[in-house]
Amino acid sequence: MDAVWAKTTADWPAKLPSGVKFSDDAPLFFHPADGKANLFHEALPNLIAARYWRCAWIDEALRGNPAAWVELEQYESLPDVGTFVDQTAYDADFAAFAERSGSDPLSAEFAVDCGVFTDGSKEGNR
Amino acid sequence: MKSHTRRRHSLATVVVAAAFAIALAVTPALPASANQISTGGTAAHGEVKYWPTARTNTYQYNTVRARLTYVTPGASLSLWVALRNSAGTTYARGNTAGAWATIVNDNGNYWNPPGTFYLNTQLVGSCVGAGCAWLAFEFDFAWNVPAPV
């Protein structure tokens, strides 16, 4: 999976914020330490890379970088996102969740859906 | 600079799409904002499938459940279903042999926290013979159901 990940990120069609880069090896998502035979759908490297990319730009947006909002508009055009992510439903989900939790949608998303960006360096995967 | 180091495992990991066959059907019996699908695919016995569709629980406490509705005739197997987040933590699991089964959080709670997850499935149980390399299965899956906490 590390080779697949390396190719995925080398060919990634959208830039990351300054000072942020994809990991060299595939994230923990692709390294389950369960000893089982694992069969990853071929879209998952793109989808996990897209999640990392999105979270990197959300982080920028929450830090007040106005350019981040422009970048985030590209999300749905990233590889496989249009096929496997229902962004309209996702946005509605997070609007509802943010309202219930007294937050704003972007902060709520970053808090609960950006572990691949914020926790990616942690070991101890299960 | 964010750069991650990763442990390498000697696991047999394969990337495929052809084995995944996804069909959607909405069941109206759930709360308006809950979600349910009927889906299925094929897998070798014991193989863990990592599904591509991101799904999101949006309540503070969410019930998630699954029900195996079909498995290749003659195979006496159950379906293990797990939730894995993008950070690579598998945090809830359940097993269904036909009835609805709750996907229980690893902390013991019968509810799961808000957030997006990806499905993992595995056909488990005894299976002997060449047919075990290609098993068809279907299941119902419900998430984002407000939990009675």
| pLDDT at residue B6, rounded to an integer | 39
Q: What is the pLDDT of residue B30?
A: 58
What pLDDT does B14 receive?
A: 44
Chain B residue at shortest CA distance from A95: B58
Tokens of B36: 């349910």
Minimum mean pLDDT among A49-53, A103-107, B18-22, B78-82: which range? B18-22
* pLDDT score of B75: 78
pTM reported for the whole predicted model: 0.84
**For residues B114-143, average pLDDT:** 93
Mean pLDDT over residues B67-79, rounded?
Answer: 91
pLDDT for residue A72 is more than 90 = yes
Band (pLDDT 50/70/90 cuts) for residue A114 is: very high
Q: Where are the alpha helices (DSSP H) in chain A?
A: 2-10, 44-62, 67-72, 81-84, 87-101, 105-113, 115-118
Least confident of A83-97, A98-112, B2-16: B2-16
Q: In B, residues 94-133, which contact A (CB 8 Å cutoff)?
A: 106, 113-116, 118, 122
**Residue-wise pLDDT tens digits, B77-103:** 999 999 999 999 999 999 999 999 999
- Is B146 part of the contact surface with chain A (CB cutoff 8 Å)? no
3-class DSSP assignment, residue B24: coil
Task: Supply the pLDDT for residue A120.
Answer: 57
Q: How much is the average pLDDT of B67-76?
A: 89
Res B31 pLDDT > 50: yes
